[in-house]
Amino acid sequence: MTKVKSIYKTMEYGPAPESATAANEWLDKHNREFGLFIDGQWQAPQSAKYFDSINPANKKFLAKISEANKKDVDKAVKAARSALPKWVKIGAHARARYLYALARQIQKHSRLFAVLESLDNGKPIRETRDIDIPLVARHFYHHAGWAQLRDTELKEYKEVGVIAQIIPWNFPLLMMAWKIAPALAMGNTVVLKPAEFTSITALLFAEICEQIGLPHGVVNIITGAGESGAAMVNHPGVDKIAFTGSTDVGRIIRRATAGTGKKISLELGGKSPFIVFDDADIDSVVEGVVDAIWFNQGQVCCAGSRLLVQESIADRLYKK
């Protein structure tokens, strides 16, 4: 009798035609070592510290990533502050053009992004290729459209200012798009820190910002762990903190920002209910329940971790 464990070890699940060659060539082109992207320039960290990014699927080394300290963060925030007046002044239509350009470059390099994301994060290539990266491009297109409407439909709103953005490792590039695209569309400048485990695609995005000629200081990408993020949260030049991550860290950020006047948005761990009524297609529900909790290995902020079922169909559903 075939054992699940033996299948797990021998069966090649979901083979894909993508090769890692282009991704490895890109990493080699950078000597597998990355600085910080501040004020439109690549800079060595003032801490002189680096940490390794590895492929979690096989533990192989991918690249050395800079660890930003308080001085690096201060430099990035000041660059964003300096860039803010001009970014606001060019107007929403001009900002929309930059967002459209970013979307097109993401599409152009979609295979490279997808493979790098899979190598760095460990998720299957068909998730990065078919879900994550296409959605990243769509979000930049979407918010480019909102930027075009900024001066007519959103006249009563104004930019917040310099936004510090801290994102997790489960959807690295997609989380980055959710943070950066709307902020730029509305006239803000940003300092973004990806998770220390999954920084590489954010650094490729920084390279694309260079390629399209995005004004210096509008987007700054710094890398590092908790201390780097804490320096961003506590910096007096930041107008808003946008954080996605654990509830515990969210509490720390809330305490740190209390009384400072900084705006804050927190997307933290939740207990998301999956609700089933008696008119549902039960077979589809079973499939949906499994997808809801196990998609992306369950590493999703809105994973369906509770099941609320109408009593009249409960036993039937549980059995299935």
Convert the pLDDT of each residue in 292-308 to its tens digit: 888 877 777 778 889 99
Rounded-to-10 torsion of CA 78, 80, 86, 91: -160
Model's pTM, two decimal places? Answer: 0.89
Please say whether the beta carbons of 67 and 98 come within 8 A: no
pLDDT of residue 129: 94
Partner residues linked to 265 by β-bridges: 242
pLDDT of residue 16: 67
Dihedrals phi, psi of 33, to nearest 5 degrees: -145, 130
Residue closest to 246 by CA, chosen among 224, 229, 268, 272: 268
pLDDT of residue 298: 75
Please say whether the beta carbons of 84 and 162 come within 8 A: yes
pLDDT of residue 296: 78
Residue 104 CA: distances (Å) to CA of 136, 155, 222: 11, 28, 24
As a whole number of angstroms, the distance between CA 294 and CA 303 comes to 8
Residue 255: which residues within 8 A CB-CB, separation 6 or more?
none
pLDDT of residue 12: 65
For residue 242, give both structure tokens. 């946008």
Q: Start-end ranges of CATH 3.40.605.10 in the chain?
A: 19-267
- The set of catalytic residues is 267, 301
* 140, containing H or E segment: helix 133-153
pLDDT of residue 269: 79
pLDDT of residue 11: 65
Q: Which of the listed CATH numbers 3.40.50.2020, 1.10.1660.10, 3.30.70.660, 3.40.605.10 matches domain 19-267? A: 3.40.605.10
pLDDT of residue 14: 58
* Residue that is written with structure tokens 């860290």 in the block: 249
pLDDT of residue 267: 92
pLDDT of residue 23: 96
pLDDT of residue 2: 60
The per-residue b/e assignment along 126-136, b for 16 or more CB within 10 angstroms, e otherwise, is ebbbebbbbbb
Residue 281: which residues within 8 A CB-CB, separation 6 or more?
none
Task: Give the Cα-Cα-Cα angle 126, 303, 203 (nearest 5 degrees).
Answer: 50
State which residues of the chain have pLDDT below 70. 1-3, 7-8, 11-16
Q: Which runs of E-coded beta strand occur in 44-126?
A: 50-55, 60-66
